[in-house]
Structure 1
Amino acid sequence: MASAITLAADAPTLSAANTGFMLICSALVLIMTPGLAFFYGGMVRVKSTLNMLMMSFISMGIVTILWVLYGFSLAFGTDSGSVVGWSSDYVGLSGIGKMELWDGYTIPVFVFAVFQLMFAIITPALISGALADRVKFTAWALFITLWVTVVYFPVAHWVWGTGGWAFELGVIDFAGGTAVHINAGAAALGVILVIGKRVGFKKDPMRPHSLPLVMLGAGLLWFGWFGFNAGSWLGNDDGVGALMFVNTQVATAAAMLAWLAYEKIRHGAFTTLGAASGAVAGLVAVTPSGGAISPLGAIAVGAIAGVLCAMAVGLKYKFGYDDSLDVVGVHLVGGVVGSLLIGFFATGGGQSDVAGLFYGGGLDQFWKQCAGVFGVLAYSLVASAVLAFLIDKTIGMRVPEDVEIAGIDQAEHAETAYDFSGAGGGAARTAAAAPAAGSASKKVDA
């Protein structure tokens, strides 16, 4: 009886503070997807702007429904063979009580489910940046549906689900270096190897049409990422969430500065695109590592990621793969860098007592990180390429060449991002005013 009383006393109880904090974090993570849409939308040419925005926004619809129907169950249900989960109570979220707590934490299952939903939404949206200008919207919607089912939900279970092989191995991934960024970056590489390059790749100028939009998107991502990272501890009773919050800011700043310094040395200028890309690279790299390292370690992780990602974005020209908006160079490379550096910079005083090489822990954790990184990378690369191949051979993955040249927005969405000929437009006003000005001139002359 005493034992039972002790266990009851030790059982977690609902924390209103942690629950409110996690709901706010969930909203912060959700705003990252529109932020990503603006970030990508500004980086493409005018004729592809709306399509780029829609490729992110459609993920918010599709993934939400799939998550409720079976995604949460596959990712966080009872383990089956260390590969996937399943719990009938989670199907349709119908067997969950509104006050039922999540697995030893002080927040409801519903709160955990909606927080993780936001991760599931943004991960396929990340892939879209590699496919700009050339993918049918229906094919993209089908790809999202299949990809989250076959790739994201199982990988989330591997990394974060009790019983998942990476979780049980001891791979550290605080908020998604493997499950989100390596997963999305490897998928992007797999798909573009199947569908090929844009028309005019390495020949035509494909510069960003709106750098202010890029900076706005990067700012929203930076803002939302605090929820993404700090919220992943599911509360802040022990200060780990606060450590992650600080390290998120520090690593992002270091990566931005490092990218700009590399850019200045290599190309002779500090660009706004470089600042935005460097910030995202830092956010990616600190995502898996920030709970295990110190703020000084965050500076090192961010700086290393900033330089290596800046170098990596040029590899597409060397190797000939058309990663339109540098998803491979930033998310895949940044995720790999951040995940592997845990094996060197983990202090043993953060989220766990695991120490990296520089803190006397040897290389044991580094090898575990390698297993997680390359296991997820290989699976996502191959599975994503297979899915893209099957879609391409059935309904077709790419738009016709003439549509790609003319602009995908009008063909796929019957809209354009900017109305240059509407009332009040500069060109229209000039054209309308020209005859009147001419008549007035003739009157005066007469």
Structure 2
Amino acid sequence: MDAGTLAWGITSSALVLFMTPGVAFFYGGLVKAKSVISMMMMSFGAMALIAVLWILYGFNMAAVANPWDFSGNPFANFALSSPELSSSDFVLALFGSTFAIITVALISGAIADRARFGSWMIFAGVWATVVYFPVAAWVWGGGWIMNLGTTLFGEESGIFVMDYAGGTAVHINAGAAALALALVLGKRIGFQKGIQKPHNVPLVMLGASILWFGWFGFNAGAEANWLNGDGSYGAMGPDSLAGIIVINTLGATAAAIIGWLIVEKFKDGKATSVGAASGAVAGLVAITPACAFLTPGWALLLGLVTGVICAFAIELKWKLGYDDSLDVVGIHLVGGVVGTLYLGFFATETGLFLGGGIEQLTVQAIAAFGVLIYSFVIAWILGFAIEKTIGFRIKNEDELAGVDTSVHGEEGYSLAEQV
């Protein structure tokens, strides 16, 4: 990396790391006042644990020498101890760690108000090891998803799975695991539509704003930090994809807010601030895989469509009976699938409606549902095993009393006694 690219690599990594506190604020504002500490601690716990695991062996697992390897050797360069590593390698490791951290943190929203912190940490560490680290290798580190187009259609086809910044590896991955945990832990006490209102809407808006801010590092940072096909690092020169990436990140997000609010207005009669925040996150999710492969007009359409679809998708939990507390499934899983499949139709030159054939949609669908199924199955097995051994869900009386006091011995808000 040259000096400018190296500086942007560090800056974008800091932006993405800041997104996890953004998730903590966003989720924390959505839960009950007596669960806010528990909710935010699940994100901060993920930051601590996954960062350590990534440095120890996760970075090594996230790249493979053979497309059909499950993952890289976790002990090949344990704790990044190789003397051959350069500053660029360390920045690449830093950037990759932030993706691993936020992917795990996103899952926690599905089990708000009812999960034990220690059990969550065990799940987070094991899931990251057997799911996220290998999937990152599949998608970006030379694995089977990265080579799927060549495998099916030949190198001359020019077809490859388009997932620039994590539609499959981050959002579908996290959303599928969230659905599995929601099913394992079961419903909250009194689960029904309108079970609770967000206890702090400004906190929700703050979290969404931090996420939107950090997402420019999330998407555009990949331009500097990921390896090119020839083994060189990306560069932030005038011919880079950074420009199209950032304008698409802005446009799709803005359009998704509009789409979500239109649905709210027609469905419930009012456009809400929580709806605007949720729409923004949905748009960010959908543009993540697509940011470098769409013209701005098609990015606007993607955002609008995603906002509408996700606004309806969050209602599925009431009809299907799974308690996804903070709509991780409706926003991240559904939004990730929409953004990934959308490229099969509207990706520049290879999309079905823009001069391509069915090939692009085929590889997008295989990648999306391959990751979805794998993540769901492993997360369900892990969650079930933890629940049946040490227990994952807190006791009913602790849920009624509040997770914060029963698990952490703290209260989110200490009101002064009136004299």
TM-score calculated relative to the size of structure 1:
0.87
CA distance in 1 between partners of 2:403 and 2:83 (Å): 43
Per-residue Cα deviation, 1:304-340 (whole angstroms, up to 9, x for no partner): 1100000000000000000000000000000000000
* Offset, 1:203: 6.7
CA distance in 1 between partners of 2:83 and 2:332 (Å): 34
- Tell me if 1:168 matches 2:147: yes
Alignment equivalent of 1:28, drawn from 2, 6, 15? 15
* Offset, 1:204: 6.7
* Offset, 1:96: 4.7
- Correspondence for 1:279: 280
- Correspondence for 2:363: 368
- Tell me if 1:146 matches 2:110: no
- Correspondence for 2:52: 65
* Offset, 1:99: 3.0
CA distance in 2 between partners of 1:36 and 1:77 (Å): 30
Aligned residues of 1:284 and 1:338 also touching (Cα < 8 A): yes
3-state SS in 1 of match to 2:146: helix
- Correspondence for 1:242: 243
- Tell me if 1:211 matches 2:184: no
Alignment equivalent of 1:392, drawn from 354, 365, 387? 387
CA distance in 2 between partners of 1:96 and 1:407 (Å): 49
Per-residue Cα deviation, 1:103-143 (whole angstroms, up to 9, x for no partner): xxxxx111111000000000010000000000111000100
CA distance in 2 between partners of 1:144 and 1:369 (Å): 27
Aligned residues of 1:90 and 1:96 also touching (Cα < 8 A): no
- Correspondence for 2:191: 201
Change in Cα spacing, 1:98 to 1:158, as seen in structure 2 (3 Å) is closer
Greater relative contact order (Cα < 8 A, sep 6+): 2
- Tell me if 1:339 matches 2:348: no
**Correspondence list, 1:76-225, <5 A:** 76-79=63-66, 81-86=68-73, 88-97=75-84, 99=86, 108-162=88-142, 164-169=143-148, 170-202=160-192, 205-225=195-215
* Offset, 1:242: 1.7
Equivalent position amino acid for 2:251 in 1: V
Equivalent position amino acid for 2:336 in 1: G
Residue identity (%): 53
TM-score calculated relative to the size of structure 2:
0.93
3-state SS in 2 of match to 1:358: coil
Cα RMSD, aligned residues only: 1.3
**Structure 2 alignment gaps of length 5 or more:** 149-159, 225-234
Change in Cα spacing, 1:294 to 1:204, as seen in structure 2 (3 Å) is closer
Equivalent position amino acid for 2:90 in 1: F
- Correspondence for 1:306: 307
Aligned residues of 1:52 and 1:128 also touching (Cα < 8 A): yes
* Offset, 1:193: 1.1
CA distance in 2 between partners of 1:123 and 1:33 (Å): 9
Equivalent position amino acid for 1:212 in 2: P
Aligned residues of 1:77 and 1:87 also touching (Cα < 8 A): no
CA distance in 1 between partners of 2:82 and 2:76 (Å): 4
Worse-superposed segment, 89-98 or 275-284: 89-98
Aligned residues: 397
- Tell me if 1:37 matches 2:24: yes
CA distance in 1 between partners of 2:259 and 2:140 (Å): 31
* Offset, 1:357: 1.2
Change in Cα spacing, 1:109 to 1:226, as seen in structure 2 (3 Å) is same
Change in Cα spacing, 1:131 to 1:298, as seen in structure 2 (3 Å) is same
- Correspondence for 1:292: 293
Alignment equivalent of 1:410, drawn from 378, 401, 405? 405
CA distance in 2 between partners of 1:204 and 1:229 (Å): 35
Aligned residues of 1:40 and 1:214 also touching (Cα < 8 A): yes
Change in Cα spacing, 1:417 to 1:367, as seen in structure 2 (3 Å) is same
* Offset, 1:30: 0.3
CA distance in 2 between partners of 1:313 and 1:367 (Å): 27
Equivalent position amino acid for 2:182 in 1: I
Aligned residues of 2:67 and 2:138 also touching (Cα < 8 A): no
Aligned residues of 1:181 and 1:331 also touching (Cα < 8 A): yes
Aligned residues of 2:42 and 2:108 also touching (Cα < 8 A): yes
Change in Cα spacing, 1:99 to 1:73, as seen in structure 2 (3 Å) is closer
Aligned residues of 2:4 and 2:236 also touching (Cα < 8 A): no
